[in-house]
Chain A
Amino acid sequence: MNSALKSNNGAGIDFGRALKDGVIVAIIAFALLGPLVGLKTDQNMSNELILQNRLGLAAVLSAIVGIGRFLLSAFVYPWVAARGNRTKAAATLAELEARAKFAKGLSVTGLIFLFVYPILIISLFGVQGSIKWVDNYGVQILIYVMLGWGLNIVIGLAGLLDLGYVAFYAVGAYSYSLLAINFHLSFWVLLPVAGLLAAFWGVILGFPVLRLRGDYLAIVTLAFGEIIRLVLINWKDFSGGSAGISSIPKVTMFGIYSFDVSAPNNFAKAFHLAASSAYYKVFLYYLILLLALLTAFITMRLRRLPIGRAWEALREDEVACRSLGINTTNTKLTAFAIGAMFGGFAGSFFAARQGFVSPESFIFMESAVIVAIVVLGGMGSMIGVALAAVAMIGGTELLRELDFLKKVFGNDFNPDQYRMLLFGLAMVIIMVWKPRGFVSARQPTAFLFKRKTVSGDLVKEGHG
């Protein structure tokens, strides 16, 4: 009867075996817990040692262990095994196609959502209430999306592990701050200047460094990031040292409207709105959104140009590239410079948004977060990197809202302390579940008959 039932539903659940497992484990648990939990020594009122009998508690604990084991054997293990079989059978082409289609649909809906997001938030929370959601979530996430996309060119496409990306972010931020304060130039003039300066520093770093590979490259770029930060701290005349630079001018709406409260052409005054910093935040939101989309657009174009193909070829096999007449040094330098340029754009935006920069903002942790975004997103995938930025930055921000846990653990519980712990746990789980990032498949840049998605198993990660 039992075997008939088993054969009926194929890989069905073997309750008999699970029950046996459960009972055996419960017995073992009782044998262990009996002496450990079941017997407790204590003092009575006259300071005598007495033995308390808590075999009932031990039995309950053993039963819990047994039931847990039963559930594991009955449900979890078969499920894990089935999952394992499925992944071993490898993602078929149809699955890959479906995923690519899903990613495309996701990017279109995501884009529409991003454009209506501030309007949605304002209608939900009101003008003043929207600040947190637009600034802390929207702008903050989009800065990291942009940084992730910029670094994606270096790590994801060219396969060069750059651990000092934050240096270019700092160059962009300080370029804007210093030039805006000392020369009173507008953000719109300084944005390209900051990008070019960052690209210039990318080339300066690239020249000596790019003959190194793999781990060595990673270490030297890491050192470069630290050097920039230390120079900013110690060269007080230039950068204000660790006190930083404050009262950095805000971005204007192309000089027509200003967001300074005192300015005559203040945006809120011009439109007879109640004074609020929310308008500036919404403006910044759209600005960084457009900057990020510019990054995405240029990256997608570059991928289809010979330089983009050369980057990916470089990631796959550098020796073969040279045998085909590709100047690998120049190719790496362009990847470094273009990645740095986007970092510089993001940096100058960051300075304008904060109104204050200090070396504190450009510590190694920032580089690590950006690298984590690229790796988590799936190297080379734009949509994956965007998702990873939402998960990483939005996730850490969301974890600030853990106050409800106080209801569970009492008022002494400080949820902020567990934020990074939970975050680390989530990272570990994601890397176990998807070792090559959210989107590991690669979209070819050209096709003869039909664009077929390339499975991530074949794509190399590059080694410096």
Chain B
Amino acid sequence: MTTSLRTWDSDPVLTVEHLTMRFGGLVAVNDLSFSAGRGDITALIGPNGAGKTTVFNCITGFYKPTTGMMSMRPRDGSLHLLERLPDFIVARKAKVARTFQNIRLFSGMTLLENLLVAQHNPLMIASGMTILGVLGIGGYRTKEKEAIDRARYWLDKIGLIGRADDPAGDLPYGAQRRLEIARAMCTGPDLLCLDEPAAGLNPRESAELNALLLSIRKDDGTSILLIEHDMSVVMGISDHVVVLEYGTKIADGTPTETRNDPRVIAAYLGVDDEEVEEIEHELDETTGSEEGRP
């Protein structure tokens, strides 16, 4: 490569090295290494079943990887080896927040309550591990007001301030996706992992999502790692694209580079059918073995 030093090489917030995850005989992720740059929007893409969500679950501590090392460097300069931490410590100490492919909101709680639960750990300390809070001493009330202000800021940002007191389960799908992102952001993360944030959104909502993600990066300086199938999101906002196929990395680079990578095109990217056929033809001529899948 001729390009100058990139963020993800010079200042990575997350480095994944030789990550392998086996489920019995199935190798879901095979010797994967990549980095996510600080302040970058990194997209992890690949066809269905490529192992993207498994990678996410390893990073956020929900799975313990078979082998491999994942180092997270939050803004405060500390270093956390994610494969050694339980899931809630990954969120609390290593400052990695995540959303889920199938939305997991607290549907019977209001939007505000959802965002307050996300600020559990600082509020818990403010309430003197509950003991002072029950007795009504200590500065819990001011801390709770601050937490509510923070929730208000995020509700404003995702355009749901008017529905702050409604239950989260009452929201339309697109709004639930945005609320889940806001809830993850309320934990004050340095790396936000989004599992298919644009799934099920209409084009307008998906454009709004792009704007939201860009503003999260700009205003809060949070790095974003996302899994996405919607190419308008991936190509529109990401700085760095990592492509997986069958658990193996097949490409890694800027959106333009990956978009033009014949292996990626052959494996996955949403291009016109004719173009795929054309490239398949080319590939057949050059390698004679690889098969393309539109």
A binding-site residues for B, Cβ under 8 Å: 298, 301-302, 305-307, 309-310, 312-313, 316-317, 319-328, 334, 442, 444-452, 454-455, 458-460
Distance in angstroms between the alpha carbons of A307 and B127 in the assembled complex: 9
Distance in angstroms between the alpha carbons of A334 and B120 in the assembled complex: 15
Is B169 close to A, CB under 8 A? Answer: yes
In whole Å, how far is A393's beta carbon from the nearest beta carbon of chain B? 29
- Among A326, A447, A449, the one with the most B-chain Cβ atoms within 10 Å of its Cβ is A326
A298 neighbours in B (Cβ, 8 Å): 134
Pairwise interchain contact B104-A317, C-beta atoms closer than 8 A: yes
Is B121 close to A, CB under 8 A? Answer: yes
In whole Å, how far is A293's beta carbon from the nearest beta carbon of chain B? 15
Pairwise interchain contact B152-A316, C-beta atoms closer than 8 A: no
Is B107 close to A, CB under 8 A? Answer: yes
Pairwise interchain contact A322-B106, C-beta atoms closer than 8 A: no
Pairwise interchain contact B88-A325, C-beta atoms closer than 8 A: yes
Pairwise interchain contact A447-B110, C-beta atoms closer than 8 A: yes
A448 neighbours in B (Cβ, 8 Å): 112, 148, 151-152, 155, 161, 164-165
In-complex Cβ contact of B187 among A306, A324, A449, A454 (8 A): A324
Pairwise interchain contact B87-A323, C-beta atoms closer than 8 A: yes
In-complex Cβ contact of B91 among A313, A325, A447, A452 (8 A): A325
Pairwise interchain contact A454-B88, C-beta atoms closer than 8 A: no
CB-based nearest A residue for B118:
A324
Is B236 close to A, CB under 8 A? Answer: no
Pairwise interchain contact A454-B134, C-beta atoms closer than 8 A: no
In whole Å, how far is A19's beta carbon from the nearest beta carbon of chain B? 46
Pairwise interchain contact A324-B120, C-beta atoms closer than 8 A: yes
Pairwise interchain contact A452-B110, C-beta atoms closer than 8 A: yes
Is B100 close to A, CB under 8 A? Answer: yes
Pairwise interchain contact A454-B130, C-beta atoms closer than 8 A: no
Supposing A323-B98, A325-B88 touch, asked if A454 and B108 sit within 8 A by C-beta, the answer is: yes
Pairwise interchain contact A324-B117, C-beta atoms closer than 8 A: yes
B187 neighbours in A (Cβ, 8 Å): 324-325
Pairwise interchain contact B113-A309, C-beta atoms closer than 8 A: yes
Is B34 close to A, CB under 8 A? Answer: no
In whole Å, how far is A229's beta carbon from the nearest beta carbon of chain B? 31
Pairwise interchain contact B104-A452, C-beta atoms closer than 8 A: no
Supposing A305-B130, A327-B88 touch, asked if A444 and B113 sit within 8 A by C-beta, the answer is: yes
B107 neighbours in A (Cβ, 8 Å): 316, 458-460
Distance in angstroms between the alpha carbons of A458 and B120 in the assembled complex: 22
In whole Å, how far is A333's beta carbon from the nearest beta carbon of chain B? 12
Is B278 close to A, CB under 8 A? Answer: no
Q: How many residue pairs, one in A and one in B, have C-beta atoms under 8 Å apart?
A: 140
Pairwise interchain contact B100-A313, C-beta atoms closer than 8 A: no
Task: Count B-side interface residues using an 8 Å CB cutoff.
Answer: 48
Chain B binding surface SS class: helix
In whole Å, how far is B58's beta carbon from the nearest beta carbon of chain A? 14
A450 neighbours in B (Cβ, 8 Å): 165
Q: List 8 A-B contacts (CB under 8 A).
A: A312-B106, A313-B117, A316-B108, A322-B87, A324-B91, A324-B118, A325-B89, A444-B165
Given contacts A305-B130, A452-B165, list 19 more A-B pairs with CB under 8 A.
Answer: A301-B136, A305-B140, A306-B123, A306-B124, A306-B127, A306-B133, A307-B127, A309-B117, A322-B88, A323-B97, A324-B118, A325-B92, A326-B120, A444-B112, A446-B112, A447-B164, A448-B151, A458-B108, A460-B108
Pairwise interchain contact A313-B88, C-beta atoms closer than 8 A: no
Is B167 close to A, CB under 8 A? Answer: yes
A326 neighbours in B (Cβ, 8 Å): 88, 117, 120-121
Residues 94-111 of B at the A interface (beta carbon under 8 Å): 97-98, 100, 104-110
In-complex Cβ contact of A301 among B105, B133, B169 (8 A): B133
A317 neighbours in B (Cβ, 8 Å): 104-106
In-complex Cβ contact of A444 among B97, B109, B124, B183 (8 A): B109
Supposing A328-B88, A460-B107 touch, asked if A307 and B124 sit within 8 A by C-beta, the answer is: yes
In whole Å, how far is A163's beta carbon from the nearest beta carbon of chain B? 24
In whole Å, how far is B159's beta carbon from the nearest beta carbon of chain A? 15
B binding-site residues for A, Cβ under 8 Å: 60, 62, 87-89, 91-92, 97-98, 100, 104-110, 112-113, 116-121, 123-124, 127, 130, 133-134, 136, 140, 144, 148, 151-152, 155, 161, 164-167, 169-170, 183-184, 187
CB-based nearest A residue for B127:
A305
- Among B62, B108, B118, the one with the most A-chain Cβ atoms within 10 Å of its Cβ is B108
Distance in angstroms between the alpha carbons of A349 and B105 in the assembled complex: 41
CB-based nearest B residue for A316:
B106
Distance in angstroms between the alpha carbons of A454 and B167 in the assembled complex: 6
In whole Å, how far is B14's beta carbon from the nearest beta carbon of chain A? 16
B112 neighbours in A (Cβ, 8 Å): 444, 446-448
CB-based nearest A residue for B133:
A305
Pairwise interchain contact A449-B124, C-beta atoms closer than 8 A: no
In-complex Cβ contact of A306 among B120, B148, B165, B183 (8 A): B120
CB-based nearest A residue for B126:
A306
Distance in angstroms between the alpha carbons of A298 and B130 in the assembled complex: 11
In-complex Cβ contact of B165 among A309, A312, A322, A449 (8 A): A449
In whole Å, how far is A265's beta carbon from the nearest beta carbon of chain B? 34
Distance in angstroms between the alpha carbons of A283 and B167 in the assembled complex: 44
In whole Å, how far is B268's beta carbon from the nearest beta carbon of chain A? 28
Distance in angstroms between the alpha carbons of A449 and B91 in the assembled complex: 30
B109 neighbours in A (Cβ, 8 Å): 309, 312-313, 316, 444, 454
Distance in angstroms between the alpha carbons of A366 and B120 in the assembled complex: 35
Distance in angstroms between the alpha carbons of A76 and B154 in the assembled complex: 52
B169 neighbours in A (Cβ, 8 Å): 458
In whole Å, how far is B179's beta carbon from the nearest beta carbon of chain A? 12
Pairwise interchain contact B148-A446, C-beta atoms closer than 8 A: yes
In whole Å, how far is A384's beta carbon from the nearest beta carbon of chain B? 15
Supposing A313-B106, A324-B91, A324-B120 touch, asked if A458 and B60 sit within 8 A by C-beta, the answer is: no
Distance in angstroms between the alpha carbons of A460 and B112 in the assembled complex: 18
A327 neighbours in B (Cβ, 8 Å): 88
Distance in angstroms between the alpha carbons of A321 and B62 in the assembled complex: 12
In-complex Cβ contact of A458 among B100, B117, B165, B170 (8 A): B170
Pairwise interchain contact B183-A334, C-beta atoms closer than 8 A: no
A447 neighbours in B (Cβ, 8 Å): 110, 112, 164-165
Distance in angstroms between the alpha carbons of A324 and B96 in the assembled complex: 9
Supposing A306-B124, A307-B130, A323-B97 touch, asked if A446 and B113 sit within 8 A by C-beta, the answer is: yes
In whole Å, how far is A450's beta carbon from the nearest beta carbon of chain B? 6
A454 neighbours in B (Cβ, 8 Å): 108-110, 167
Pairwise interchain contact A455-B167, C-beta atoms closer than 8 A: yes
In-complex Cβ contact of A320 among B92, B106, B136 (8 A): B106
Distance in angstroms between the alpha carbons of A323 and B152 in the assembled complex: 21
User: 9 tightest CB-CB pairs across the interface, nearest first?
Assistant: A459-B108, A325-B92, A325-B91, A316-B106, A458-B169, A306-B123, A320-B104, A448-B164, A313-B117
In whole Å, how far is B126's beta carbon from the nearest beta carbon of chain A? 8
CB-based nearest B residue for A450:
B165
B136 neighbours in A (Cβ, 8 Å): 301
